[in-house]
Structure 1
Amino acid sequence: MSRLVVKTHRPLQIFLAIVILSSTFTLLAWGLLENGHWHYIRAQLASNEESKLLWDVNRNLEEENAKLRERLIILERATQIDMETTAGLQEVIRTRQDEVYRLKGELEFYQGIMESTRDSKGLNVQGLHIVALSEKRYQYKLVLTNVTKNDMVAKGFVKVFLEGMQDGKLQVLNLEELTQEQPIDLSFKFKHFKRLEGNLVLPDGFEPTRVIVQLHLNENKKSESERVFEWPLKAGLGGGNNVGAGP
């Protein structure tokens, strides 16, 4: 004879067990996710702090670099100003030295004229002073003297010729052909002292060797006085040279 077994049905307990298990699994999963999430957040914060630090360092370096560039520009400008100032002073000194050299040459020229005038009589070509302005351009100063007992006035005109070589041939050029002043005035009227001056430009290929100066009185068509000067072979720019006196 079979036994009848009666089992008690407990649906509430089963439901609670399921809820507890589900909650436990959920809490465990949430804990794992939360831990990973905070680890990520901490890593991000650390990374952000490191990036901020790097940005700060980079910004400081850029500011320092900008200051250094400004100092470099200031130093370059100061150096340029010093160089320009030095160059300007050197140019001024060089100009003053050239001026002193030129004035010294003129002083010696006129001193020679004063000394030679003591023994001269009548109308004379007392001296010729030449200054080289550039390679082919020159300034000339011609000095005439008139020593007479009765202080007579000398009236007349001057002829000046440059003798030299051009293309292997002897050439004689009139000063009127070489001067830049138009027209050139070489007339004179004076008692004791007369200076004629101007500029001349030598033609290309012409190498002067001598300067011939002739004085003519108005009442006498023939040359009253003539003097020949050797051309200065070494006439430095800005310097003066008394052309060597001839007989």
Structure 2
Amino acid sequence: MSAVKGSTQYSLKVVPHRPARRFLIVLMLLLVVVVCIAGAYFAGYWQGTGTQSNALQQLERLRVELQDSQAESEQLRQQVANLSLASEVDQYASEEVRTEVMELRQQIASLETDISFYRGLMEPSESNSGLTIGDVNLVETSQAGRFSFKVVMQQLATNHQVLNGTLNVDVIGRSNGGVTRVPLYQLSDDIDSEDIKLRFKYFQNVEGELTLPEGFEAQKLELSAQAAGRDGGKVSKSYSWLVEDR
């Protein structure tokens, strides 16, 4: 055969036809791919299992730590509550003790006053005997301008006899820019006369309630007592208008 000028000439080689070998090569390649895929799967599985196990362990540890923290927080909260309660109890106890002490002091003062009162009745001094004005008390009431009053008249003597006499009580204050004197009987329904009758052996209380006129500013009380009889003594005293709380 003549060659065509200008075209490329290729060498030809004859090889035997082996279809089984080709199939075997393809099968080997498939096996290699399957083994690689399986290896990658199992490697990922074991790695994932290990990671999950670590995560579960860490989660369990965090759960335990959370429980411990909650228990500690509850314990601290209980301690704070106990301390707060103890503080309130101490404060209440302290206030209660303080109140009791004040009440005891008031009782002692009242008893000492009573002792002095009765001692003065039974054992008067030479310079202090006969008709005497004792305590004078003014206490406010729930009604504005209305007050309760108490005047204690005493007889200081070594040999007590029934004493008769009279007591006059005037309230001195300012009204309409001037000084005004108002007898007690005009301010109190408990007193029916300007001359309050006295009759006692040891002491007599003159008490009741009085109401001040509107616009009247009380400043003091003036008391004057006169014992009956030729040798009856007379005593006068003036007290500032000092009102005690209820």
**TM-score, reference length from structure 1:** 0.67
Paired residue for 1:33? 41
Q: Which of 152, 158, 170 is the equivalent residue of 2:179? A: 170
The answer to whether the Cα contact below 8 Å between 1:141 and 1:196 also exists between their aligned partners in 2 is yes
Which amino acid is 1:160 matched to?
V
Q: Which of 40, 43, 59 is the equivalent residue of 2:67? A: 59
Paired residue for 1:231? 239
Instruction: Specify whether residues 33 and 190 from structure 1 end up closer, same or farther in structure 2 by C-alpha distance, changes over 3 A only.
Output: same
Which amino acid is 1:143 matched to?
M
How many angstroms does 1:83 deviate by?
A: 0.9
Paired residue for 1:211? 222
Paired residue for 1:161? 170
Paired residue for 1:77? 85
SS in 2 for 1:107: helix
Aligned-partner Cα distance in 1 for 2:62–2:74? 18
Paired residue for 2:28? 20
How many aligned positions are there? 221
How many angstroms does 1:7 deviate by?
A: 5.7
Aligned-partner Cα distance in 2 for 1:215–1:138? 24
**Higher RCO, Cα 8 Å, sep 6+:** 1
**TM-score, reference length from structure 2:** 0.68
How many angstroms does 1:72 deviate by?
A: 1.3
SS in 1 for 2:133: strand
Which amino acid is 2:133 matched to?
G
Q: Considering only CA atoms, is the larger Rg found in Structure 1 or Structure 2?
A: 2
Deviations 1:118-146 (A, max 9, x none): 9866xx4x223024656995652322549
Counterpart check, 1:47 vs 2:55: yes
Instruction: Specify whether residues 63 and 184 from structure 1 end up closer, same or farther in structure 2 by C-alpha distance, changes over 3 A only.
Output: farther
Aligned-partner Cα distance in 1 for 2:217–2:126? 34
The answer to whether the Cα contact below 8 Å between 2:173 and 2:216 also exists between their aligned partners in 1 is no
Counterpart check, 1:130 vs 2:136: yes
Over the matched positions of the two proteins, sequence identity in percent amounts to: 15
The answer to whether the Cα contact below 8 Å between 1:162 and 1:172 also exists between their aligned partners in 2 is yes
How many angstroms does 1:70 deviate by?
A: 0.9
Counterpart check, 1:140 vs 2:150: yes
Deviations 1:140-179 (A, max 9, x none): 23225498x9x6784x764422224456532223334655
